[in-house]
Amino acid sequence: MKYGQLIVDKKEYSLLMRSIADSRSQEDKIYRESLKKLKLELLTAKVIEDEIMPDDVIRFNSIVSISTPYNVERSYQIVAPEKSDILQNKISILSPMALALFGYAKGDKIIWEFPSGMNTIEIIAVKQQKSLLKKESV
C-alpha cells in the first residue's frame, strides 16, 4: 500500500460511514463482506482535510483505471449511488468494486472478494473530478 494505510477525506469519511450504516440490511453475502471489510479499513484510515488530499488517492468522483489478473484494463468513475450508470462506467461507491478501491492510491494492488471470487486489482491511474462534497455540505 503506497501510503501505508487508506487515506480518506474527512467529509467523505463521514458520508461513507453513514452510507455503510444505512446498507446493513443487504442480503448478498459478498456485498455484506465488502462493506464489513471497508468499514474495518476505515477505522484505521488516515482521515485528512480536502486541501491536503493526495491527487492519486481514490475518492468520490475519481476516475480509476485498473488492471485485473486476466489482463483486463477498465476505467470507472466512483459516484454516489443515485448517479450510478454502468453504461457510462459510473459505479456506485457502495458497489463491491468501489468499496474495494476507495482510499487506495495509484500503484496499489488490492486483494478483494467479489461475486466471481477472490481477485487482485492493480490501480493503474487515478484522475480527480470535482469532489462530490465541494458544493454540498455534509
Per-residue pLDDT, averaged over 35-52, amounts to 90
Please give the domain boundaries of the chain with CATH numbers for all domains: 7-127 (3.10.50.30)
Q: What is the overall mean pLDDT for the chain?
A: 85
Cα separation, 38 vs 50, in Å, equals: 20
pLDDT digits (tens, 9 = 90+) for 7-33: 999 999 998 888 777 765 566 777 778
> What was the pLDDT predicted at 109?
95
CA distances from 119 to 89, 108, 112 (A): 20, 14, 6
| 3-state SS record for the chain | CCCCCCEEEHHHHHHHHHHHHHCCCCCCHHHHHHHHHHHHHHHCCEEECHHHCCCCECCCCCEEEEECCCCCEEEEEEECHHHCEHHHCEEECCCHHHHHHCCCECCCEEEEEECCEEEEEEEEEEECCCCCCCCCCC
> What was the pLDDT predicted at 24?
58
Given a cut of 70, whether residue 132 has pLDDT beyond it is: no
Given a cut of 60, whether residue 70 has pLDDT beyond it is: yes
